[in-house]
Amino acid sequence: MSLTLTCPICGERNGYEFRYGGEDKGPRPDRAGLTPEQWCDYVHMNSCVAGVQKEWWFHRDGCGAWFTTHRDTRTGLETDGPDSAAQK
Amino acid sequence: MNMLQRQSPVRFSARPVKTEVRDGWTVVLEYAAQGDGLHLIDLSHRAKWDLQDGDLSRFDIAGTPIPSAPNTCTLKNGTAVCRRNRTQALIWHLAGDPPELPEDPALTDVTEASLLAALTGPNIYDVMEKICSLDLKDPAKTTPRLIQGPALHVPCLIMDLGRMGDRDVVLIACSRGYGRDMTEGLLHAGAEWNMAPAGETAFTRLFDI
């Protein structure tokens, strides 16, 4: 399966240039009142969506930017462009 | 007094005819039979700085601010300043004497950690097309510009300087450990256009034209 991803800085590139950074699980939970179980769930548990999921990618062989994008896990294809506001 | 001996990651089989020792580097100024065609020039000894900071707008390198848009470059007085992403920029001192590295923890001298080579002359874009899938011929883009991506499967920083004097110029940088294989690969790719190693003078003279 071939994969192309759109880097918000470099544009559309071969998927082999990127490193997968996992599902986007939203912001880190607040420390106040956080139980070990909640933290474990946040760190280790994934939704494993069969469909479109928002996920993190790192342009390892290129500009070094972290960004989120939307990809259909059933086809491996990007469905929306990258979320440039989420660049790290 | 002990002198630091600095070694370029690149060795060419061509015979140097003019060399100079500069800050511990043995710099080849001219090779025998380098001709005036397609050249591959080792510039690894040229000062290269890496800049990482959350606010790049506060920096002014040799009178040049960091460009605001990623992958854009400015080339002024022999110093190229390019922005890589939101927090990182590169500074390459390509001609003339480099200034002292400012006392700022955001700046790191990466000169000895990386290969820097220049391709100059005709057909350089044809050579680059053979070693990478990056689009260096996009007519919508202006030079100088930075292209970040793999060449010969090695993560590279490629700076397209466009036309300088009578020659097209592309710079390519990668980690030092890939230096020998990268230059061998470039020479192999450029063999059909008789690419030859050339000394530093063949590059620095372009800044005088």
- The domain limits of chain B are 16-45+112-207, 48-109
Q: How many domains does chain A have?
A: 1
Average pLDDT of the residues in B23-52: 95
User: Is the pLDDT score of A88 beyond 70?
Assistant: no
- The residue among A77, B114, A10, A29 whose CA lies nearest residue A58 is A10
Per the structure, the complete domain to which residue A11 belongs is given by 4-82
Instruction: Kindly provide the ipTM of the predicted complex, given to two decimals.
Output: 0.85
**CB–CB of A10 and B84 under 8 A?**
no
Q: Which of B70, B133, B150 sits opposite A63 (nearest CB)?
A: B70
Residue B156, C-beta contacts closer than 8 angstroms, at least 6 positions apart: B132, B148, B149, B150, B172, B173, B174
Q: How close is the nearest chain A Cα to the Cα of B186, in Å?
A: 19
d(C-alpha B148, C-alpha B159), whole Å: 9
Cβ-contact A9, A58 below 8 angstroms: no
Q: Chain A window 29-88: which residues touch B at a Cβ cutoff of 8 Å?
A: 59-65, 87-88
User: Is the pLDDT score of B134 beyond 60?
Assistant: yes
Give the strand pairing for B79-83 and A77-83: unpaired
Cβ-contact B126, B195 below 8 angstroms: no
Q: How confident is the model at residue B2 (pLDDT cuts 50, 70, 90)?
A: confident
Average pLDDT of the residues in B1-22: 91
Q: Which of B86, B133, B150 sits opposite A87 (nearest CB)?
A: B86
Q: Which residues pair with B89 in a beta bridge?
A: B51, B83
Q: Is residue A62 one of the residues assigned to a domain?
A: yes
Average pLDDT of the residues in B17-38: 94
- Chain A residues within an 8 Å CB radius of B86: 65, 87-88
Q: List the CATH code of the domain at B16-45+112-207.
A: 3.30.1360.120
How confident is the model at residue A84, as a pLDDT?
A: 60
Q: Is residue A88 one of the residues assigned to a domain?
A: no
Q: Is residue A32 one of the residues assigned to a domain?
A: yes
In order, the DSSP letters of B121-140 are STTHHHHHHHH-------TT
Average pLDDT of the residues in A42-56: 95
How confident is the model at residue B99, as a pLDDT?
A: 87
Residue of B nearest to A12 (CA): B134
What type of residue sits at position A48?
A: C
d(C-alpha B13, C-alpha B33), whole Å: 12
Q: Is residue A26 one of the residues assigned to a domain?
A: yes
Q: Is residue A87 one of the residues assigned to a domain?
A: no
Q: Is residue A53 one of the residues assigned to a domain?
A: yes
**CB–CB of B85 and A63 under 8 A?**
yes
**CB–CB of B70 and A61 under 8 A?**
no
φ and ψ at residue B47, rounded to 5 degrees: -65, 130
CATH code, domain carrying A63: 3.30.2270.10
Q: How close is the nearest chain A Cα to the Cα of B149, in Å?
A: 4
In order, the DSSP letters of B19-79 are EEEETTEEEEEEETT--SSSEEEE-TTS-EEEEE-S-GGG-EETTEEPPSSTTBEEEETTE
Cβ-contact A82, A24 below 8 angstroms: no
Share of chain A above pLDDT 70, in %: 93
Under DSSP, the state recorded for A15 is G
- Chain A residues within an 8 Å CB radius of B70: 9, 63, 65
